[in-house]
Amino acid sequence: MTSELNRDEFTAGYLVEADEHVRSAVSNLLAVENALRTNAPQHRAVRELFRSLHTLKGLSAMVGIDPIVDLAHEMETILRDADRSTGKLSAPAVELLLKGVRAIEQRVGAFAKKQPIAAAPRKLLEALADFQRGSLPAPAESSGIIALDPDVLAKLQPVEHEHLATSVAAGKRALRIDFYPSPARSDAGFSITTVREKLSAIGEIVRVIPRAVPKSEDAPGGLAFVLLVLSEASEAELANASSTDASTFLPITLLSEPSAASPEPEQSDDEPEEFTPASKSVIRVDVARLDDALDKLSALVVTRFKLSHAVQRLREQDVDVRELNAILAENHRQLRDLRAAITKARMVSVNELLERVPLLVRSMNRATGKQVKLVIDAGNAELDKAVAERIFPAIVHLIRNAVDHAIETPAERTQLGKSIEGTITVSCHEHSDTVLEICVSDDGRGIDGTALARRSGRPAPRDGAGMLELITLPGLSTLDDATSSSGRGMGMDIVRRIVVDVLRGDLSLRTQPGLGSSFTMRLPMSISILDSFSFVCGAQAFAVPVSIVDEIIDLETESLVQTPAPKHGETARADLRLLERRGEAIPLFGLASLLQLTPPPNQRGKAFIIRPQGQAFAFAIDRVLGQQEIVVRPIEDPLVKVTGVAGTTDLGDGRPTLVLDLIGLSTLAVATSTHQRKSA
């Protein structure tokens, strides 16, 4: 029982650590594979890969997952040989190691789901064991001997020595920087950990070597660190990053002739020695706890609405509420700060979300025989974890479709004068403080609107919006034969449902025949607490997310054209008018009429303008109440859920208030008007 209890204590931490090391292993293996194509150095990726597997083996042994221990041990052997010989892996080695990582990932997943863990594949273990050192690249001829103190030189592994020598021979700038820890430097924020981080940002640290030195004023602890750095940064930048006088930097050069007195670097049977700094202060928190904190924050937001209404009632009774107003304003600021803090804690990096996508593209390249390069440009963009989990399948669908449908075969691309290797780019940037824009584009054949219309049995589309309307039809596929990943009539309708229906975002398409296509998704960074506009329409209060509204206009000052009134016996139209705005004719729908509410006596109130897929629509309302945070409660019951309603909220009056989906309402309004015109 004690053994089982101890295992449970380690389980949560193990799964997080194991997932990180598996992701790191995949990332470094793909980096090695890319380096093979350009004959670039692989030293750092090989070493990081070794560390990930070594750590994963130890963690798995702690929780008793022997199959992972067996796999990681055999993979370590290949990596140790590579690190000690050339620092490089061959293509067959990369392929074999990727199979090993996938096998480890499957067993970590089984452990997470509390399923039986399969034994390590016998054939894979045999293949790893039989992989001889002769399969690794032959050691390259030495580029020379670097000029360093013998005691420092003796600490270098052969691969590190060769990396420095090759880099110096290629004209790169190499420096030895000596860092002496002291209380004064520590008080100024400089430790070996921070120095490593700062130097790594402006260069490459080949090795950090701790050394015992005589105690002195400069080295009160009797300890120094030798950092061997490759960098083109200025001496001032390096000095600021290392808290070291630039005059003490020593350039690393090559000896003109190998010296017999120069000692050979020591060989060691142990794992390569390197100083490992203390880890950063990080606490892993279960997502359920963050969800609970967000729920409690949501309750506080609703309570603030109620308090605001109570203060308003007191004001109407001529009670002096100036002090209460000041407290409310302060409370509002505090809640916004609390919301920002909780939201930030829930954020995940888009780069982290997409880090396994290159492995998907690599697998599809092998399955399709195409050559596709994936470029990810996410910067520092982040998403709420709940949004990230929902949008990831949509991104995967778009990338699969791009490889299967859009990118041509190498022969076709050569015939068209394109490079043999196609490119898929995933880029994103923050469109505002609350909206993130993710774009998946390719340089393939583009979408043939005529062929698409023929398959769907509908008229040919005239623009990207029409093309998107067709390509997201349920059951539509542009492939004649199903493959392992496409051609089954599933995909783009799923993408639209996730982006528009689930996340209340916007999906648009741009395509050019022969040049490629681009799908753009505009998503809210969070889906629980949103900034919204509250407004009145037909004597009822509603709310809409701020991210959906492009602008708010005053209809009193706008030029309107009324369409013909419905004939006797016709279904009431959606009160369609045309609004002239900056030379653009925008359909203006009466929201009260569309929702079958009593229209206001004043037909010249306000209007929201939205631009889904680049097409502008306007909705007339009575008046805007203000902008405020709301807690959105989605409507899950399919019997109650209707087009145009995203959920409900509480504005503090105790009554449920509908949160409208204006994008869905615009689609409904256009369909209603089109049907009425055909009926007429």
pLDDT along the chain (680 residues), means of 10: 44 79 86 79 79 83 82 84 71 86 89 87 84 51 67 74 78 88 86 86 84 82 87 89 88 64 41 39 69 81 83 88 89 85 83 84 85 88 85 90 89 91 90 80 88 78 80 69 48 82 82 90 78 86 86 78 55 63 84 80 79 82 85 70 79 78 80 59
pLDDT for residue 433: 65
pLDDT for residue 50: 84
- pTM here? 0.61
pLDDT for residue 264: 43
Buried b / exposed e along 131-146 (16+ C-beta atoms within 10 A): beeebbbeeeeebbbb
pLDDT for residue 425: 94
Local structure of 207: helix, strand or coil = strand
Q: Which amino acid is at 557?
A: T
User: Between the CA of residue 139 and those of 76, 158, 273, what are the distances in Å?
Assistant: 19, 10, 22
pLDDT for residue 439: 93
Length of the chain: 680
Give dist(CA 335, CA 341) in Å, integer.
Answer: 10
Residue 386 in tokens: 């709940």
The full 3-state SS of 278-323, as one line of letters, equals CCCCCCCCCHHHHHHHHHHHHHHHHHHHHHHHHHHHHHHCCCCCHH
CB 577 within 8 A of CB 563: yes
Our CA angle for 673, 674, 680, nearest 5°, is 85
